[in-house]
Amino acid sequence: MPKNIKHNPVEQAESILKHHKNLFGNLLYTEKTTSSVVKESETNYSEEWASATTLNDLNDKICNCQKCELGSTRKNFVFGSGNPKADVMFIGEAPGAEEDIQGLPFVGRAGQLLTKIIESINFKREEVFICNILKCRPPNNRDPLPNEMQTCEPYLQKQIEIINPKLILCLGRISGQTLLKSNETLTTLRQKVHTYRGISLMVTYHPAALLRNPHWKRPTWEDLKKFRALYDEMKNANK
């Protein structure tokens, strides 16, 4: 650079800021603001709920979630219900219309059938924990969208971590595929016992599907008998 050119501090500062804007847009990262960003990321929404140690605490931290558009269309956030120390979890895909109204999982016709299913294998509804992958009802009961499940699944993972069940029964294809990260059909998923984060997991038909197709009740019953036998086997092994 020629020695006779004088450096104007203001011009230098403008040049630096212009270069910074070309790279990063209108965000200005000084040493102070960088530190501020780090602190915000350490205490953001997800970190707050991730520190929950009880289901009540978790529910309090996530019940006002607005991370996806379902937050603006729901009537109620449907966290889940049952025994916070349950040995068994039943997991569906999403709340329906009646669940959205009451804020409780599986309380409509499918829920009434689920209660009978639970009782048929010698459990009581209050002994188990029941929830869904999504905590908000998709409009018109459509299938959950991939981004909705991706957003909401960490909440379910935290529920499972807190409850620490011995067994999980996924109700329906979508629930099974989501937890197992699989594209296999429901027929294939039903054929074996899976492992999810160290927990034994089985998949069967969703109660709503049984209401539409009663001929699926027989294979569901076969799944349930295997599920109960697995539970009894695990319980006896721990005596």
Judge whether 38 lies within some domain. Answer: no
Per-residue pLDDT of the chain (239 residues; tens, 9 = 90+): 444 444 455 455 454 444 334 333 333 333 333 333 333 333 344 568 999 999 999 999 999 999 999 999 999 999 999 999 999 999 999 999 999 999 999 999 999 999 999 999 999 999 999 999 999 999 999 999 999 999 999 999 999 999 999 999 999 999 999 999 999 999 999 999 999 999 999 999 999 999 999 999 999 999 999 999 999 999 999 87
What is the rounded CA–CA span in Å between residue 113 and residue 204? 14
Structure tokens at 223: 């799944």
Tally of domains in the chain: 1
Task: Looking at 103-143, list the stretches that DSSP marks H as alpha helix, in order from N- to C-terminal side.
Answer: 109-120
State residue 239's pLDDT score: 76
Q: If DSSP states are collapsed to H, E and C, what string results for 85-151?
A: CCCEEEEECCCCHHHHHHCCCCCCHHHHHHHHHHHHCCCCHHHCEEEECCCCCCHHHCCCCHHHHHH
Structure tokens at 40: 């915000």
Judge whether 124 lies within some domain. Answer: yes
pTM exceeds 0.85? no
State residue 11's pLDDT score: 54
State residue 14's pLDDT score: 55
Give all strands of the β-sheet with 194-196 in edge-to-edge order: 81-82, 129-132, 88-92, 167-171, 199-204, 194-196
Judge whether 129 lies within some domain. Answer: yes
Residues 6+ apart with CB under 8 A from 53: 162
End-to-end CA gap in the chain: 83
Q: Which domain holds residue 232?
A: 66-237
Strands (E), 42-100: 81-82, 88-92
Judge whether 185 lies within some domain. Answer: yes
Judge whether 152 lies within some domain. Answer: yes
State residue 7's pLDDT score: 47
The CATH code of the domain that includes 176 is 3.40.470.10
> Taking phi first (over 0 means left), then psi (-120 to 50 degrees means alpha), and beta for anything else, what does residue 104 get?
beta
Judge whether 167 lies within some domain. Answer: yes
Judge whether 32 lies within some domain. Answer: no
Q: Which residue has the tokens 């999810």?
A: 196
Residues 6+ apart with CB under 8 A from 176: 170, 182, 186, 189, 203
